[in-house]
């Protein structure tokens, strides 16, 4: 029997890796678990991605693309007449009111970069692009970097603690960071 033509197999493997990480975390990611989730032979995962790091890089690139699309949409919607602190509070609130499982997945992949050298540049690229997008909109890249770091840390803290969202805390905290 000849090989079956399956042009979408690589993408299905990436999607399956994202699903596996979303359901089981990075610890649950293996070529075997991804092959099962993608309904492909084990050899297909290793053919397309020789290492788990290669698969993580592809998964993080895809998730980052979706994240950056949402971030760019928020940046484009910033009201130049409103204080930046109010706009950031709106961003944090909208993000926290969004899909929690997606946020957890984004941070799971993002934090994988701490232990996986190959993944680190992909996480850094995403942060740099967020800074670039926001910096272009507000006209100050240093402020943009502080805002991205502040919002990122705040979102992670809310995910970890489940603390209620308080817009005043975001506005006051960011005002303090920005001076």
CATH of the domain at 6: 1.10.10.60
| Closest C-alpha to 49, from 29, 19, 68, 67 | 29
Give the distance, in angstroms, between the CA of residue 65 and the centroid of all CA atoms in the same chain: 8
User: Structure tokens of 1?
Assistant: 């029997």
* Residues spanned by the domain of 108: 54-178
Q: Are residues 46 and 58 in the same domain?
A: no
| Number of domain units in the chain | 2
Torsion of CA 53, 9, 108, 36, to 10 degrees: -100
Residue 3: is its pLDDT beyond 60? no
What would you report as the CA-atom Rg of the chain, rounded to the nearest whole angstrom? 19
**Domain end: 32, 50, 68, which one?**
50
Q: Are residues 10 and 91 in the same domain?
A: no
The model's pLDDT over 10-63, given as tens digits with 9 standing for 90+, comes to: 999 999 999 999 999 999 999 999 999 999 999 999 999 999 999 999 999 999
How crowded is residue 13: how many other Cβ atoms within 10 Å of its Cβ? 24
Question: CATH number for the domain including 170?
Answer: 1.10.357.10
């Amino acid at each position: 029997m000849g090989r079956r033509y399956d042009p979408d197999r690589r993408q299905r493997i990436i999607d399956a890796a994202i699903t596996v990480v979303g359901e089981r975390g990075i610890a649950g990611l293996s070529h075997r678990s991804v092959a099962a989730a993608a309904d492909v032979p084990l050899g297909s995962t290793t053919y397309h991605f020789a290492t788990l790091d290669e698969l993580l890089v592809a998964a993080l690139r895809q998730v980052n693309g979706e994240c950056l699309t949402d971030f760019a949409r928020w940046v484009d919607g910033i009201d130049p007449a409103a204080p930046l602190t109010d706009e950031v509070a709106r961003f944090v609130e909208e993000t926290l009111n969004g899909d929690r499982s997606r946020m957890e997945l984004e941070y799971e992949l993002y934090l994988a970069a701490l232990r996986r050298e190959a993944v680190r540049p992909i996480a850094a690229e995403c942060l740099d692009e967020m800074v670039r997008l926001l910096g272009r909109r507000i006209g100050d890249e240093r402020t943009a970097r502080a805002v991205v770091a502040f919002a990122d840390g705040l979102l992670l803290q809310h995910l970890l603690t489940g603390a209620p969202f308080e817009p005043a805390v975001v506005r006051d905290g960011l005002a303090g960071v920005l001076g």
